[in-house]
A and B are shown apart, each in its own frame.
Chain A
Amino acid sequence: MTLDITFKHENQVLTIYLKGELDHHAVSKIKDTIDLQLVRAPVKKLVLDLGEVSFMDSSGIGLIVGRYNRIRSLGGTMAIKNPGGNLLKILKMSGIDKLMKIS
């Protein structure tokens, strides 16, 4: 199982597109890649697009909360886009929807 990651950086908005399954194995591989992007150029808003993520467990929650804390410490905000049915369930039960906008 692999997780593909692509970035779009435009007007200080960094959008991360993930494709695949977001578990502990995948998270440990992409965490540093995302953090590097956050310090390469100024980012005011971090958008995580989960539209192509077919599976996520609580390791994904850890990744999201960790990046949320990081972007907040840099003075920015974070949002999540396009989570599918099962992802939305886990995002809501962990209270992520109270931390950031999910659309």
Chain B
Amino acid sequence: MASRDFSHRLSDVHGSLRRPVSLSRRLHMDIPLLVLLLVLAALGLGVLYSASGGDMNYVRRQSIFMCVAFVGMFIVAQIPLDFYRRWSPWAYLAGCVLLVGVLFFGTKAMGAQRWLEIGGFRFQPSEVMKLGVPMAVAAYLHQRRLPPSLITVIGALAIVAVPAALIVRQPDLGTSILIAASGLFALYLAGLSWKMISVAAMALLVAAYPIWHWGLHDYQRQRILTLLNPDDDRFNTGWNIFNSKAAIGSGGIYGKGYLQGTQSQLDFLPESHTDFIIAVLSEEWGMRGALLLLLLYVLIIARGIYISFMAQYVFGRLLAGSITLTFFVYVFVNIGMVTGLLPVVGVPLPVISYGGTSLITLMAGFGLLMAVGTERRRVHF
């Protein structure tokens, strides 16, 4: 009886001294984020089924991608943050080497050289850098006094510039800008002075003219012009936008019903299962569906910001903040382009668009986010 009492008390003592060790903490999973991602993934499969015209092959393959991506996320989340911080310079360097390799030995497809083929396996090094660059910048800033001095800023900019320049050469302007943005977000969150930000903005404004004339490919210019006047060129560059707007607009508030979207089901919508998938959702589920999806994204972003707020150290903080903001940029650019607000720049809709590579990178990012979120407990435990 006494021993039982003792043990009971002991556990009580334990319980009051230590925080309860839940399964989620042991697994380094952030439950709210995990739930949100699972809901999003389920929604994605549902939309994909419709967007692919009821082709179960797409759904099956995407399900496999999702399983792989979730397992990847789980593994990434298990590794201590300190490990990432220490190894990120090497990972970054390796990424740069691969990017140089792409320029020389890359596989060409659709007019661009973006892939490396190793043993029959094809992968895109720029995909790795989507996480490599913010990690490297965060690790770099982690070691410096913040807010960053001018020297520190120049160093960080160099870290961003090298892969961005290599990716532009492929050419893949969209990815390059997004990768650069993820690095710059880290720099911004680290306290880059507003003075420098305004100077950079001014410089960009001045550079706009030469960039327009010499920095862009014809097709890129055309995409921007199309955006300004989409009806001008309804059957060429404006075709996608014209039809995706018609799909979204004709969905109305309530939508045409699941699998009932005429625009998407009748192939008027190109890329309906990849980049333009939100048009399918908006056509069939209406504005309600679109807002529901936005809400899911907002909740994920809110959770990401919360994790970054709670992070104890600079590296985790900057990394979590950068990943979260970049995630939002993906969402915004994709929806902006499909709804005709932004030029068409092949950015998939996170988790919903069909495709394995981007999904795996994305979930690895969430794995990092979870690693940050559970780091504090790791240190205490």
Q: Do A and B come from one complex?
A: no
Taking Cβ atoms with an 8 Å cutoff, the residues of A that contact B are none
